Amino acid sequence: MTHTEQQHFSEHLVATYRHLEAIGLMELATGNVSCRVEGGMLISCSGATAQNLTPDRVVFVHEDGTWAGDIKPSSEWRMHSAVYKNSDKANAVIHAHSAYCVAMACNNMPLPGFHYMVGMFGGSDVPCVPYSTFGTEELAENAGNALQDRAACLLGNHGMICRGANFDTAIKNAELLEILCKHYVLARQLGEPDLLTDEQWDEFFGRAKKVAYSKFI
Ligand SMILES: [Zn+2]
């Protein structure tokens, strides 16, 4: 990766972080953003906020988990790294504590197939992996495995993580998951929402292929 490339990706990463904050998905600077680059990944620094994150505070973490310099990567770098190792579709990863995702995750509830848009993440639900302490290898492994065949998952008693083919797709997935969790919470207030049947899912995925919904996944 040339210096110019690193600068370009770092600027885009900062813009993504600020956009997530602007749309309310990065409250209290609790999330982090990364992208895949040659030889490793770029990730927001430890202690990043929308105000203090600048391109020179984006950290290059090598594939072997090492980095140079005094600025530390986000404590969740292992989780981001595991997603890139597990899915070649991942070029950008967002981790956030967005409100409705946290509400679901704190009940350790997967998001069930109550709405066809849930299928945009690659299956008939969005899983919720069990709680592990932040920054641990265990959390990284669980999230990495969940994101092999889904574009997002909930993290028990914690938040969410999603991937995308680029920054924009990852932002869309983070927004979509938050909105769907909100819809589900609202629907649950009225009763027990009906879930789509297996037959309805088969039909959805058949149609989704034709209209290229799979670009999200
Ligand atoms: Zn977190």
Calculate how far, in angstroms, residue 62's C-alpha sits from the geometric centre of ligand 1. Answer: 21
Predicted local distance difference test score (pLDDT) of residue 217: 60
Q: Are 208 and 119 in contact (CB under 8 A)?
A: yes
Task: State pLDDT tens for residues 11-23.
Answer: 999 999 999 999 9
How many angstroms is it from 125 CA to the middle of ligand 1?
A: 21
How many residues in the chain?
217
Rounded Cα gap, residues 98 and 174, in angstroms:
9
Mean pLDDT across 33-45? 98
Share of the chain above pLDDT 70, in %: 97
| Bridge partners (DSSP) listed for residue 33 | 94
Q: Where in the chain are the domains?
A: 3-216
Alpha-carbon gap, residue 177 to 7, rounded angstroms: 30
Distance 180 CA to ligand 1 centre (A): 20
- Give the architecture-level CATH label for domain 3-216: 3-Layer(aba) Sandwich (3.40)
User: Is 137 annotated as catalytic?
Assistant: no
Q: What are phi and psi of 148, to 5 degrees?
A: -65, -50
Q: How far is the CA of 188 from the centre of ligand 1 (A)?
A: 26
For 74-115, what is each residue's pLDDT tens digit?
Answer: 999 999 999 999 999 999 999 999 999 999 999 999 999 999
46: closest CA among 74, 10, 18, 68? Answer: 74
Task: Give the per-residue pLDDT at 208.
Answer: 87
Which residue among 11, 27, 76, 192 is the active-site one?
76
